Amino acid sequence: MEQVDDQYTPENVESGVSDYWEEHDAYEAAKEAHADDPPFFFVDGPPYTSGQMHLGTAWNKTLKDAIIRYKRMTGHRVTDRPGYDMHGLPIEVKVEEELGFDSKTDIEEYGMEAFIEECKEFAETNREAMDEDFQSIGAWMDWENPYKTVSPEYMESAWWAFSQVADRGLVERGKRSISQCPRCETGLANNEVEYEDVEDPSIYVKFPLADREGSLVIWTTTPWTVPANTFVAVDPDLTYNAVRAEKDGEEEVLYVAEACVEDVLQEGRYEDYTVEAELSGEELVGWAYDHPLADHLEDYPDFEGAGEVYPADYVEADRTGLVHSAPGHGEEDFHRGQELGLEIFCPVGPDGVFADAAGDYAGQFVRDANEEIIADLVAEGHMLAHGTVHHSYGHCWRCDTGIIQLVTDQWFISITDVKDELLENMEESEWHPQWARDNRFRDFIEDAPDWNVSRQRYWGIPIPIWVPEGEDPAEIDLEEETVVVSTREELADRVDQEIDPAEIDLHRPSVDDLTITEDGTTYRRVEDVFDVWLDSSVASWGTLGYPGETEAHDELWPADLIVEAHDQTRGWFWSQLGMGTAAVGEIPYKEVL
């Protein structure tokens, strides 16, 4: 190797070292030197192939390279297979940008198969470029044999793990309130929502009481959810006031929390008021009111139990102390509505456009309709005050579109059913720093909802669930009336068509056309694909080729160490624990840095 010049030039040193490594096959020599040493199973957190290496991924691989080299030098046979996350919205959005697409309609017109081929080519091209970048910084990993989430072997790992979850009875299908990206027209997991400060409407609305004088006053930043209002929530233990307020020579009775009276009347610019009655929230329960937009809607919640006051534990003495609740939208509203046995009313489609049931607002994007809804509330005399508020609002992690809360049918892993098991398994891992596990990670686990694993998209691992043809998945017995396929071999054995398990492409649309007929019933696969976080959640199996290959898994699993940035606490660290616990009852890693 050439001697270093007096004037240090990194390029010369790098090329000289690289040439030396290549000439002596240094990486393979290092592996062979430790072939008989005790194993050390390192799992590489897979970066998205949605762009070339950047500073963050370079730093990430540098840290991992240092650890892998150290473990080898201290006498270990290190598993160091690099990984790539190659499915999901990160890829789809990039391809849509390249093709000039604005919505799923553009994809359907272009053709699903052609679009998926574009995604595949984009992901693979970027993977090759990232391979070169990572090797250029001197990272020693098994670059000849990376694990790729798009490979049949890896996709099979995801199918197998999900089948184990289903066998444990932890797969559910049903309506839930989810964060929906209206542009991508799919649900998002909580950790796929990024928050930005925005300017939104701030409105105080009067809900006129049906059988007594006065109005309940609510406050919201989402006027577009008022059409779906089903009930008003109160704190049964909170004190409320009936206030006779005067403005411009006219009087009206308003009901608000005692602690909020002054602020509400100031917002409404009332000139004077008297408190006519003091009531507990419990006394308000059961009161009926008229929907403030009834005259503008084709349909609205007028079913049994709707349009009444109910107690709820999410109410605080804030703004007005009464909460507008639309179970077809908000997560807390939905859960309380379910507890109360109320029907779900959601006049909004997956693209965020009002449906016919929304009457005057039908055909409008919900946030665009805010202005008209506000104007109608003013014209009807139901607006107490309106303005704007600067606050944090959720956006899609990939296309940066503002999310909306919708109740839709989705597939879930029932994380809440194994919450205690999750917390116990968490204790089996050692973290650096340890407080990140005991504080931040524990808090996230304790608050984690059921895992929405379905996405209404194209480029991803198809969910391996077959349901009776023509049946609504939400209406069937999931344990008795579904087929969950775990491997390619099982797929070949059970489908009506003749396929080669070694050759089958598990992506859409290939698997969409495969049917299963058993005991006189024909089953067809549900159209959804997996949440991309489920892809990477099985990395500890996928990197070993399990269940197709078992020897390495039997020797090495679970992983000895995983290393990522702190943001993966609610990302990859969590998804692996969630899947490991739900599938096999164990945590898939021992140590976290």
Identify the structural domains of the chain with CATH numbers, from first to last: 17-165+532-585 (3.40.50.620), 195-396 (3.90.740.10)
Average pLDDT over residues 253-269: 96
Q: What is the pLDDT of residue 515?
A: 97
Query: Is the predicted pLDDT of residue 9 greater than 90, yes or no?
Result: no
Share of the chain above pLDDT 70, in %: 99
pLDDT band at 1 (very low <50, low <70, confident <90, very high): low
Rounded CA-CA distance 196/400 in Å is 9
Helix (DSSP H) and strand (DSSP E) numbers for the chain = 19, 25
Greater pLDDT, 15 or 443: 443
pLDDT band at 288 (very low <50, low <70, confident <90, very high): very high
319: its two tokens:
């703004």
Q: What is the pLDDT of residues 297-356, one digit of tens each?
A: 998 888 899 999 999 999 999 999 999 999 999 999 999 999 999 999 999 999 999 999
Dihedral sign of CA atoms 368, 372, 373, 375 in order: positive
**What region, left, alpha or beta, does residue 41 occupy, with left being phi > 0 and alpha being psi -120 to 50 degrees?**
beta
Q: What is the pLDDT of residues 92-126, one digit of tens each?
A: 999 999 999 988 999 999 999 999 999 999 999 99
Q: What is the pLDDT of residues 428-486, one digit of tens each?
A: 999 999 999 999 999 999 999 899 999 999 999 999 999 999 888 878 888 889 999 99
Q: How crowded is residue 25: how many other Cβ atoms within 10 Å of its Cβ? A: 11
Core vs surface per residue 572-586: b (16+ CB within 10 A) or e: bbbbbbbbbbbbbee
Contact 590, 559 (CB under 8 A): yes
What does each C-alpha distance from 556 to 42, 77, 479 come to in angstroms? 10, 11, 33
Q: What is the pLDDT of residue 98?
A: 94
Lowest mean pLDDT among 1-10, 62-71, 242-251, 581-590: 1-10
Q: What is the pLDDT of residues 186-219, one digit of tens each?
A: 888 777 888 999 999 999 999 999 999 999 999 9
Query: Is the predicted pLDDT of residue 495 greater than 80, yes or no?
Result: yes
Contact 32, 142 (CB under 8 A): no
Per DSSP, the three-state class of 561 is: strand
Q: Which residues pair with 454 in a beta bridge?
A: 530
Q: What is the pLDDT of residue 126?
A: 95
pLDDT band at 585 (very low <50, low <70, confident <90, very high): very high
Query: Is the predicted pLDDT of residue 5 greater than 70, yes or no?
Result: no
Q: What is the pLDDT of residue 471?
A: 86
Contact 471, 481 (CB under 8 A): yes
- The identity of residue 191, as a single letter, is N
Rounded CA-CA distance 226/325 in Å is 8
Q: What is the pLDDT of residue 476?
A: 84
Q: What is the pLDDT of residue 301?
A: 86
Q: What is the pLDDT of residue 143?
A: 96
Contact 412, 173 (CB under 8 A): yes
Q: What is the pLDDT of residue 190?
A: 76
Between the CA atoms of 65, 44, 489 and 166, what dihedral angle is there, to the nearest 10 degrees? 160
Rounded CA-CA distance 310/282 in Å is 9
Q: What is the pLDDT of residue 369?
A: 95
Contact 81, 577 (CB under 8 A): no
Q: What is the pLDDT of residue 124?
A: 96
DSSP per-residue string spanning 337-404:
HHHHTPPP---B-TTSBB-GGGGGGTTSBGGGGHHHHHHHHHHTT-EEEEEEEEEEEEEETTT-PBPE
Q: What is the pLDDT of residue 2?
A: 55
Query: Is the predicted pLDDT of residue 4 greater than 90, yes or no?
Result: no
Rounded CA-CA distance 209/225 in Å is 20
- The identity of residue 559, as a single letter, is A
Q: What is the pLDDT of residue 3?
A: 61
pTM over 0.85: yes
Per DSSP, the three-state class of 492 is: helix
Share of the chain above pLDDT 90, in %: 85
CA angle at 490 for the pair 484 and 493, rounded to the nearest 5°: 120
